[in-house]
Structure 1
Amino acid sequence: MNRRNFIRSASILSTLTVLKPEIVFATNNNSTVRIGLVGCGNRAAGILGSMSENANIRVVALADLFEDKLEKGIAFANTLNQKRNYAPVGKNNTYSGHDAYLRLLENKDVDAVIIASPGYSHPQMLEDTVAAGKHVYCEKPMAIDADGCQQIIKTARNIGNRLSAFDGFQVKFATPYAEMGKRIKRGDIGDIVTVQLYYFSSGAPIIPHEGMSYDEMRIRNHYHFHEISGGCYLDQAIHMIDTCNWILGTTPMYAIGDGTKKGGPDFGNAWTNYQVIYKYPGDINVSVHSAKFGKVFGDVCARFIGTEGIAEAHYSGGVFINGTHKWDSGIVRSAAELTPESIAQGASSSSLDDADPNKGKAFIDSITTGKYLNQLESGCNSTLTAILGREAASKQEKVTWDELVYTPHRIDPNLDLKQFTGK
């Protein structure tokens, strides 16, 4: 299957099928949404597992570049289907190789597609998925460069609300974050003066790659390669950036920054740490510190400092407001405070327990009710904000928003995907 033939058939297919989901689902909220999965790695399992537990879905098709990843994905999907008393994924509905996702998109049994492949592939996969008339949930980052984001924004504007199209930014769907955001927006911390964001993570493992081609080695170790994943700033700090953009309700005007590859393995080209400062409208300065190396996971936090209080949210360590309008989400601030009794009563030190479940359910509900939602442009604005910071750091100079979005900016992964023939 090549893209020329796919585009020809998809354009015909989409005109015939784009209204079908509304007809099928709008009158029956209990209808099963049939899922096709593109990319069968760890993040895919997380999305799919959570979605299956909290919404009525059936996995009917899977695609991956690599046969071994596909087989693991099939086994996991069949486990999920079995729990819901659905049949295993059909052998003719599993695809590997460079054109695997295109063949999956031709499958008429697929209602919605989850894209969980490396970031470089997202813009084209999104465009093709929408062309095939499928609802789509695409993991972050939306792209690894500004041109890719512009491609997705164009796709988003073309589909409007004819399909549900979700990004993979789930943090603001967590109940504690949602409540904190509501309180900040209604003025509980007064005027926001400055914001501090940070994400301190352990390093990504190196997948053994003896005997692999250079391209296969980079794809399987995509977190270590800037041109495949976009780097750690687009993988992790981007979550806090999305949270910031959501609460401030805007995007930055410019960024300055720095960073290094220090502390990381002698492998790949992705940086291990970034320090970026953004200038947002209203004279709000936002600092971002991102690190991904070593063996110890640190902390993740978004802290909003206002004239009447400070609001902060940690992945583990509480979500609360100190100041004139004091508030606490009830998330335990230290795991050491947890006891078997408190855990049995629902206590937790994680503020993200319901983030993936809420996001996944919202996606499926939007399909089954016919109330389609299109989040792609918002997701691209958060991705562009992260790209702006990464570019300012790598160039060690000020980069404005307009310079980024109005100047051609493409990172070529330089991959020969046709070497992966698959089945």
Structure 2
Amino acid sequence: MKKTTKLSRRDFVHTALGAGVALSAPTILGATAKGQGKTFKIGLIGCGGRGRGAAAGALEAGKILGFNVRVVATADYFKDRAVRAGKQLDVPPERCFGGASCYRDLLETDVEIVLMATAPLFRPLHLEAAVNAGKHVFIEKPVAVDPPGCRRVIAAGREAEKKGLVITAGTEMRHDWDHIKTHQAVAVEKSLGKLYAGRVSFCIGHMFWSRPINPKSAEDLVRSWQNWIALSGDHLVEQHVHNIDLANWFCGGHPVSAVGFGGRPRRPAGDMYDFFSVDYDYGEGVHIHSMCRQVNGCWNWVGHDFVYEKGHTNGNDHPKPQKSPIPASLPQGPSSHIQEQIDTLYYINKGRPVNQARAVAESTATAIMGRISAYTGWQVTWNQIMAAADESPDLFNLTLKPTAEDFEKGTVEIPKENVVPVPGQK
């Protein structure tokens, strides 16, 4: 199939929603005759740019597959955002919900699929509730900010499997066909032999607030969530998880330990680090170096490189496996953020309960393991945070504050700005 031109997430959102989601017809790949007449009702939780992008992607995915896809409810911590998104998506005001418990109101409606794009802090709680309500879910990455949150997501994934529900995740390279085929060729079919080592990077300029936030309320924290460890997980978790997920995927699972460092020389807002450098040990002598930075005026690189016995790959440059794992009837979208929505609808329609909850939770936990190591200066193991409750109870039970439940109960304590973790101190 001929490759289509890739769109950035931001460009797609502006094009789609700016036109009232009246996307072009005929569609990019054409509608499948089998899909004609099939209707899916979608609910959107989290109506910022990422959430509206997911909604636009789902609507375009429906057109590509020939389904009648409608967003019928929106929810956001701030009701005005839910209402604005509702206007763009043709959702009546009475089905636009606000407040910390807005997700509960949305899950009581007739939505079949839930798109989750709130701050990462809220995602384990919202996923549990959606699965309990019998909804299919697309959940953005990362899916948690601490080890207990990751385990909650894995548990919700197991429950979804019992119910035959689909859970797809916003780790979008697992939806990109070149990455899928390259993974099949080098990680499954071993076309390049044994994996020796690799590196993954998300080094870019400064993002978000350029001055102190001085939060006074829970609402201030939610509006500036990208700047707070407890709400975002820090940028190693919130952003770099994309690349870390690729490392886990190509290495065949999560690492056994992490040793890292980081710092905050320039960031004026919130309580996060500016940069991280982490060595992940995947066992059998395989190490992956992870680095991420959000500082202006520095060398930037977002990418990955894996070194094998017979060569190396950047993750998407060997798309010639002997056997493609992509279903022959699955259409290819113009970008991975539309493809992830195509995949969601396709597998729901096929009755094939694809479940990415464990994979994205383990990638999130891998990032969290590196963050904890950088904050403390310790070597941190997978057993300590995810598998052995008795080995290191403080790490296994590490719960960042405030929690999602604190926002619902009104018990949020405001974190201190510019007070950051110092390694080597207990």
Q: Residues of 2 paired with 1:211 and 1:92: CA distance?
A: 34
Alignment gaps of 5+ in structure 1: 1-26, 78-87, 314-318, 327-351
Match of 1:36 among 17, 22, 43: 43
Shift in alpha-carbon separation, 1:30–1:256, aligned structure 2, 3 A: farther
Q: Deviations over 1:273-315 (max 9, x none)?
A: 10000110221011000112338893211100011101114xx
Give 2:317's aligned amino acid: F
Shift in alpha-carbon separation, 1:73–1:212, aligned structure 2, 3 A: farther
Partner of 2:238: 235
Q: Residues of 1 paired with 2:200 and 2:159: CA distance?
A: 34
Partner of 2:75: 63
2:208 aligned counterpart, secondary structure: coil
Q: Does 1:293 align with 2:305?
A: no
2:47 aligned counterpart, secondary structure: coil
Partner of 2:422: none
Match of 1:403 among 358, 381, 384: 384
Partner of 1:217: 220
Moved more, 47-56 or 300-309: 47-56
Give 1:267's aligned amino acid: A
Partner of 1:192: 195
The answer to whether the 8 Å contact 2:75/2:102 transfers is yes
Q: Deviations over 1:238-282 (max 9, x none)?
A: 111111111111111100000011232x21001111000011022
Q: Deviations over 1:87-116 (max 9, x none)?
A: x21222111112211111111x21111110
Partner of 1:201: 204
Give the C-alpha shift of residue 141 in structure 1. 0.9
Match of 1:258 among 250, 253, 261: 261
Q: Deviations over 1:299-341 (max 9, x none)?
A: 211100011101114xxxxx436xxx99xxxxxxxxxxxxxxx
Matches within 5 A, 1:57-206: 57-77=69-89, 88-107=90-109, 109-160=110-161, 162-185=164-187, 186-206=189-209
Q: Does 1:45 align with 2:52?
A: yes
2:317 aligned counterpart, secondary structure: strand
Partner of 1:373: 354
The answer to whether the 8 Å contact 2:79/2:96 transfers is no
The answer to whether the 8 Å contact 2:86/2:93 transfers is no
Give 1:105's aligned amino acid: L
2:44 aligned counterpart, secondary structure: strand
Shift in alpha-carbon separation, 1:65–1:209, aligned structure 2, 3 A: farther
Q: Deviations over 1:339-387 (max 9, x none)?
A: xxxxxxxxxxxxx952112211110111122222111111111111111
The answer to whether the 8 Å contact 1:167/1:375 transfers is yes
Give 1:52's aligned amino acid: L
Give 2:124's aligned amino acid: P
Q: Residues of 2 paired with 1:151 and 1:189: CA distance?
A: 37
Give the C-alpha shift of residue 204 in structure 1. 2.4
Partner of 1:312: 314
Give the C-alpha shift of residue 208 in structure 1. 9.1
Q: Residues of 2 paired with 1:34 and 1:312: CA distance?
A: 38
Moved more, 59-68 or 198-207: 198-207
CA RMSD of aligned residues (A): 2.6
Shift in alpha-carbon separation, 1:295–1:287, aligned structure 2, 3 A: same
Q: Residues of 1 paired with 2:343 and 2:61: CA distance?
A: 10
Residue identity over aligned pairs, in percent, reads: 25
Q: TM-score, normalised by structure 2?
A: 0.77
Shift in alpha-carbon separation, 1:212–1:187, aligned structure 2, 3 A: closer
1:374 aligned counterpart, secondary structure: coil
Q: Deviations over 1:210-253 (max 9, x none)?
A: 89733222211111100111010111211111111111111111
1:288 aligned counterpart, secondary structure: strand
Q: Residues of 2 paired with 1:246 and 1:29: CA distance?
A: 35
1:320 aligned counterpart, secondary structure: coil
Q: TM-score, normalised by structure 1?
A: 0.77
Q: Residues of 2 paired with 1:194 and 1:91: CA distance?
A: 53
Partner of 1:345: none
Give the C-alpha shift of residue 159 in structure 1. 2.5
Q: Residues of 1 paired with 2:297 and 2:150: CA distance?
A: 32
Q: Residues of 2 paired with 1:52 and 1:417: CA distance?
A: 31
Alignment gaps of 5+ in structure 2: 1-33, 322-332, 389-395, 412-426
Moved more, 111-120 or 296-305: 296-305
Matches within 5 A, 1:329-348: none
Q: Residues of 1 paired with 2:183 and 2:37: CA distance?
A: 31
Partner of 1:245: 248
Give the C-alpha shift of residue 416 in structure 1. 4.1
Q: Deviations over 1:105-147 (max 9, x none)?
A: 111x211111100011011111011111111111111110000
Give the C-alpha shift of residue 209 in structure 1. 9.5
Give the C-alpha shift of residue 44 in structure 1. 0.8
Give the C-alpha shift of residue 49 in structure 1. 1.3
1:59 aligned counterpart, secondary structure: strand
Partner of 2:372: 391
Q: Does 1:412 align with 2:414?
A: no
Partner of 2:423: none
Q: Residues of 2 paired with 1:381 and 1:30: CA distance?
A: 37
1:130 aligned counterpart, secondary structure: helix
Give 2:280's aligned amino acid: Y
Q: Deviations over 1:164-198 (max 9, x none)?
A: 11222111211221222122122232211101110
